[in-house]
Structure 1
């Protein structure tokens, strides 16, 4: 049955290559996924159609059926349609979910919405074990949506590191789930991460490859030519920096291009944290590339630029790879990172105290990137990360200049089409425009102290000048 579904979807996708705005075909594909219980895929197809024509009559009809099947009603359906017309943002989606006040534990949850709402509450309170149990309950109730898998993986990888017995419980749960039903491909990514944490690297590789297989063969980008073409394992590009400068948006825009095949995750942290797992583990996160067709793949770990020895490791494995760095006004970037840490409760100092403390340590150092270990005992690196010249100088001592594309974050948001054309030209793929360019993973915060900004700008001015002289380009940061 799965093969027949894939065959029909491939047939309809080929029709879309001839006439990409044929909305009736999107409706047929969404119906196919819906009938087979692939609700997440059906939602994605509806989102594609809504981006072409937001007031489309036929696709919202199947969309309502999908959302009603998932337990949504009334104003919730309208709210989700509005999200789908833009981009399915996980935090926004969470906020739509309200649970009954009587639901206090995962055992009380009768619907996936109640379980996810409970998991979100536990996550906000940093009650990680309870949050994990709640998201596992949501997956058990509704295994076709990737929201629960995605959030569960974020908790385990970035917030909470389970004990061996907890890991084993999650892995056993995933094995039972995968054997029992069709699940989101992202379930295999989470399973791979759990197995990696256990040191079962070969099993993890199998899980990642399964995730890639299940994703790629239901993708609109796949054609018979792709399926039948000889393939190679390779990585075409890396977005190496910088954090809080727009890497999430850039990677999202890139992944919409018909020639870009995404990795299992945007950030893999292989070269700065997981290099000892080996290149086979790394390559398992990417789709194999056909020899023909001009397909590319890559990832975006924005902390590669400033991480120790990463440039040498990348060159060792991929000496011809294309490297993209997107740089933001270092003052604005530092404040953005501070506010991100504040929201996630990784920072409890005021902005002025945090910035002034770091400023006093960095001032007067010939090479401020060569900070001593004691620095990291008190500081978060808000300013240190903005010393772009010193990081790029190290990378360009290893890779030739022509393998780099340096972008201004401000241009990505103010001249998006023009900037993306630069990226496509650098990667040697065709131009491609999106109907809109949503900001991904952006935050908001109040206006900051002008006097502090001036102090930070004065600190960065000579370092920014070195950057401009070194690259031969103007950034015009105040």
Structure 2
């Protein structure tokens, strides 16, 4: 482990040197090449990908950086047209879902023992996951980690399976965690390896050990973070959370959080969504704070998370106020018709919805149309409905939050503005958080979906349903949304 720390220290010094050169000449091709090579030679493959993507977005016809990428992909088991497809993906948006779809087109091994490269093991895991063969999928992703421990893709999917798809029996968890410890011990792993370790330990009820794992993830993030200065390192620290993006799901929270943590004053949490106040509150505040970097007193650094379902979750506002009464709260609201349809198609993709769009929406309209207080839906509602329309009744949720927190602690954004006037909207956010303005070279949409156009009759039915609630929202907040 000591050798790993020494390598990381040397790597950080060299990268810092080259990053300073980029500040003087941001389009210096040779410098991007040097940084990418450094990361590749040290086995930091996630960072290699980030630098390649950064360079390709600035200069799409760049020749030298893709050479590093070619070497990396060949090492991982990619070949021929797969490398070209990956480079094309990198030039636009390296999103996890697109990456998995790319791999799913490849031939797959039949067993974990057959997997000789990282790609083989990952593709096998993907195909087993699609078939819901969870034990076998976990074994395949563990093999991918064993072959190449520095890529976060394996850890991300493994974590998704264990947290959201499948709950292994305690004896199986013990076996997984024992193997996992062996795989990552003393190796140059992705920081996310320790997040996964923390999540597995949390599922085992080993909260104290989980906290140590999350703190290890944070330490690694801080150690190699280019934002960290001597001022940060030498300042006394406090455990605090500066802001929460509380809602709403399928309204652009992933993009907003991504843009935010590019800012030099913002250091992200271990995960975008921690679900502490709506699902994990009983784990305690120490568990929660372990997911965040300690902040220097008066150092100008901020941290926060974005769990978009906080806005509508029962009594979350009281729990947040109990722990962080001064916290800044951001809600991004999308035309509730578009938001509902987007959530529906997300659930279809996740195989959580089998009804047609029209049946699902009409069913919910019939249940909600005569309810005086939509936040007090009866339990029977949740036995049949998914909350597509309910989640868009923003005004009733905001009323609850604003009886607990003063209005000045909220920033309310239109999702449509974040999409069409991104730079201007982000300046609003920076001003609200009291940090300096900062512009990105590009604003990719993160976690966005695509689907066919909704028929006009259904759309009008949904618009009519939301119209009085949208009007009440505009009156309550004193701002126009202009949703149709």
- TM-score, normalised on structure 2? 0.95
1:372-429 deviation per Cα after TM superposition (whole angstroms, max 9, x unaligned): 1111111111111111000000000011111111011111111111111111111111
Which residue matches 2:225? 219
d(CA) in 2 for partners of 1:225 and 1:21?
A: 28
Aligned residue runs from structure 1 range 36-55, under 5 A? 36-55=42-61
d(CA) in 2 for partners of 1:292 and 1:25?
A: 34
Q: CA deviation at 1:255?
A: 1.4
Structure 2 vs 1, CA of residues 344 and 98 (structure 1 numbering), >3 Å: closer, same or farther?
closer
Structure 2 vs 1, CA of residues 286 and 341 (structure 1 numbering), >3 Å: closer, same or farther?
same
Correspondence 1:128 to 2:131? no
Contact 1:10 1:222 in 2 (8 A): no
Aligned residue runs from structure 1 range 290-369, under 5 A? 290-369=296-375
Contact 1:328 1:408 in 2 (8 A): yes
Q: RMSD value over aligned CA atoms?
A: 1.7
Correspondence 1:397 to 2:403? yes
Structure 1: unaligned runs, 5 residues or longer: none
Contact 1:233 1:289 in 2 (8 A): yes
1:3-49 deviation per Cα after TM superposition (whole angstroms, max 9, x unaligned): 32233333434444555444433332222222222222222222222
Contact 1:98 1:114 in 2 (8 A): no
Q: How many residues align?
A: 478
d(CA) in 1 for partners of 2:350 and 2:326?
A: 38
Correspondence 1:407 to 2:420? no
Structure 2 residue aligned with 1:79, among 77, 82, 85?
A: 85
Contact 1:325 1:404 in 2 (8 A): yes
Deviates more, 1:89-98 or 1:397-406: 89-98
Structure 2: unaligned runs, 5 residues or longer: 1-5
Q: CA deviation at 1:475?
A: 0.6
- TM-score, normalised on structure 1? 0.96
d(CA) in 2 for partners of 1:100 and 1:10?
A: 38
Aligned residue runs from structure 1 range 282-297, under 5 A? 282-297=288-303
Contact 1:10 1:223 in 2 (8 A): no
Q: Following superposition, which runs of at least 4 residues in structure 1 exceed 6 angstroms of deviation?
A: none
d(CA) in 1 for partners of 2:108 and 2:408?
A: 61
Contact 2:149 2:184 in 1 (8 A): no
d(CA) in 2 for partners of 1:365 and 1:447?
A: 29
Contact 1:272 1:307 in 2 (8 A): yes
Which residue matches 1:264? 270
Q: CA deviation at 1:453?
A: 1.5
Correspondence 1:110 to 2:116? yes
d(CA) in 2 for partners of 1:221 and 1:79?
A: 32
d(CA) in 1 for partners of 2:23 and 2:230?
A: 12
Q: CA deviation at 1:81?
A: 2.2
Correspondence 1:441 to 2:474? no
Structure 2 vs 1, CA of residues 204 and 182 (structure 1 numbering), >3 Å: closer, same or farther?
same
Structure 2 residue aligned with 1:159, among 159, 165, 177?
A: 165
d(CA) in 1 for partners of 2:41 and 2:404?
A: 53
Q: CA deviation at 1:100?
A: 7.0
Structure 2 vs 1, CA of residues 31 and 100 (structure 1 numbering), >3 Å: closer, same or farther?
closer
Correspondence 1:427 to 2:427? no
d(CA) in 1 for partners of 2:442 and 2:12?
A: 29
Q: CA deviation at 1:59?
A: 2.4
Contact 1:31 1:62 in 2 (8 A): yes
Contact 2:104 2:126 in 1 (8 A): no
Q: CA deviation at 1:333?
A: 0.9
Which residue matches 1:458? 464
Contact 1:9 1:218 in 2 (8 A): no
1:173-209 deviation per Cα after TM superposition (whole angstroms, max 9, x unaligned): 1211122522111110000000000010110011011
